[in-house]
Amino acid sequence: MPAPFAPYPLSRPRRLRRTPWMRNLVQETTLSVSDLIWPLFVREGQNELEPVASMPGVARRSVDLIPDAAAEAAALGIPVIALFPYTEPARKSPGCEEAWNPENLVNQATRAVRAAGIEIGIMLDVALDPYNSLGHDGIVRDGVVLNDESLIGLEKQALAHAEAGADILGPSDMMDGRIAHLRRALEREGYQDTAIMSYAAKYASAFYGPFRDAVGASGALVGDKKTYQMDPANSDEALREVAQDIAEGADMVMVKPGMPYLDICTRVKRELGAPTYAYQVSGEYAMIQAAAQNGWIDGDKAMMESLAGFKRAGCDGILSYFSLDVAKRLKAG
Ligand SMILES: NCC(=O)CCC(=O)O
Ligand SMILES: [Mg+2]
């Protein structure tokens, strides 16, 4: 039989796929528990564990339950948890003052984890949307999301989070100049060791829907976020955004969402070489869970494959709602 292409039969790629040990030997990337950041939702009350309907398997926990979740993550080797608040509507305002309340939910939860002596990193978002009655990440006046005025609030929020004990701040607001502004404030106030993981290339995406449900922001948002989050059509612009945040003092950078933007992850890692993370956002999680619940895909396998994709694309780590399940699977081997 004639060879269908020149190297065959000298090259038979299937040789390297014959057995599990051979497949392990030639595996190019590995997903490890140390790649994972686990987002958790915090709510008011005592001993409350409230499922989020649009995110099967995800719940909002009252502050008192956060240390147990953190301890479980730490025991599995997950390096970082990220805390997000479900803010009661009565605590939201156009001025977003709850964002820098030392006693807001994420600050309380951070202190509770610290008080319990759990060895795990804590990341807190810096953005005004969970606290804004208008649902936007910055201060709104006459229908416009104001850039420089928003930085003043973001600075107060960042300092309150650093004071509460956050190890990593995640500015997710996409205002221009926020990283330099926050970095200077942190230096000035003595928080020089507080790391910044910038949501540097954050797209105006339809995949955030379930998250807004989880934090109670779905009803609040007036209009859309296209004047500050990026156009999904753009790639070079992401490189400029990320380079700017690194120059302004970001220690780590993030691409968000994840799966539809793996090309951006690859470019950012290759061209800028910074510690690069992807956020596998709520809509990506919900798609996999919904299909799995319908029996249309094997949810566990799809979960592991989706995270392997981030590593192959060049990411150093992933924020994923699957983190706990992934860590358990990796431990089981
Ligand atoms: N700043 C954090 C998010 O906006 C998360 C979005 C999502 O999971 O859909
Ligand atoms: Mg920017």
DSSP result, 219-257: TT--S-STTTSBPTT-SHHHHHHHHHHHHTT-SEEEEES
In a domain, 283, yes or no: yes
Name the residue with the closest Cα to ligand 1, atom 1: 172
Residues 6+ apart with CB under 8 A from 323: 36, 37, 38, 39, 73, 78
Look at residue 147 in the predicted model and tell me its pLDDT.
98
**Does residue 39 lie in a domain region?**
yes
Question: Which two tokens mark 58?
Answer: 């995800």
The pTM score is 0.96
**Position 23 in a domain:** no
To which H or E segment does residue 60 belong?
strand 59-62
What would the pLDDT profile of 231-270 be if each residue is shown by its tens digit? 999 999 999 999 999 999 999 999 999 999 999 999 999 9
Of all protein residues, the one whose alpha carbon is nearest to atom 9 of ligand 1 is 208
Ligand 1 atom nearest to 319, measured from its CA: 8
pLDDT tens across 96-150, in order? Answer: 999 999 999 999 999 999 999 999 999 999 999 999 999 999 999 999 999 999 9
Inside any domain, residue 212? yes
Please tell me if the CB atom of residue 172 comes closer than 6 angstroms to any atom of ligand 1: yes
Residue 112 lies in a domain: yes
C-beta 55 within 6 A of ligand 1:
no
Residue 211: name the closest of 98, 102, 320 by CA: 320
**CB of 208 sitting under 6 A from ligand 1:** yes
Mutating to test ligand 1, I would choose from 42, 123, 279 the residue with most ligand atoms within 8 A of its C-beta, which is 279
Say yes or no: CB of residue 173 within 6 Å of ligand 1: no
- Which residues surround the ion ligand 2 when the cut-off is CB under 5 Å? 241
> Taking Cα atoms as reference points, which of 293, 301, 309 lies closest to residue 325?
301
Residues tagged active-site = 202, 256
Residue 300 forms part of a structural domain: yes
DSSP string, 102-139: TTSHHHHHHHHHHHTT---EEEEEE-SGGGBTT--SSE
Q: Which atom of ligand 1 is nearest to the CA of 283?
A: 9
Q: Which residue has the tokens 């987002």?
A: 39
Task: Kindly report the CATH number assigned to the domain that includes residue 77.
Answer: 3.20.20.70
Quick check: is 96 in a domain?
Answer: yes
Where does 12-51 have alpha helices with state H? 20-26
Query: Is 213 part of any domain?
Result: yes
The confidence score (pLDDT) of residue 221 equals 86
- Please state, in angstroms and rounded to a whole number, the distance separating the CA atoms of residues 98 and 87: 9
* Ranges of residues in the chain whose predicted pLDDT is under 70: 1-5
Q: Which of 41, 218, 281, 306 to mutate to test the pocket of ligand 1 (most atoms within 8 A of CB)?
A: 281
113 close to 169: Cβ distance less than 8 angstroms:
no
Domain count of the chain?
1
Domain containing 113 equals 31-332
Annotated binding residue 241: yes
Amino acid at 159: L
Give the residues across from 158 on adjacent strands: none
Report the residue among 211, 277, 323 best suited for mutation to probe ligand 1: largest number of ligand atoms under 8 A from its CB. 211
What's residue 1's pLDDT? 58
137 lines ligand 1 (CB under 6 A): no
CB 167 within 8 A of CB 135: no
Please give the pLDDT value at position 4: 61
ipTM, 2 dp: 0.96
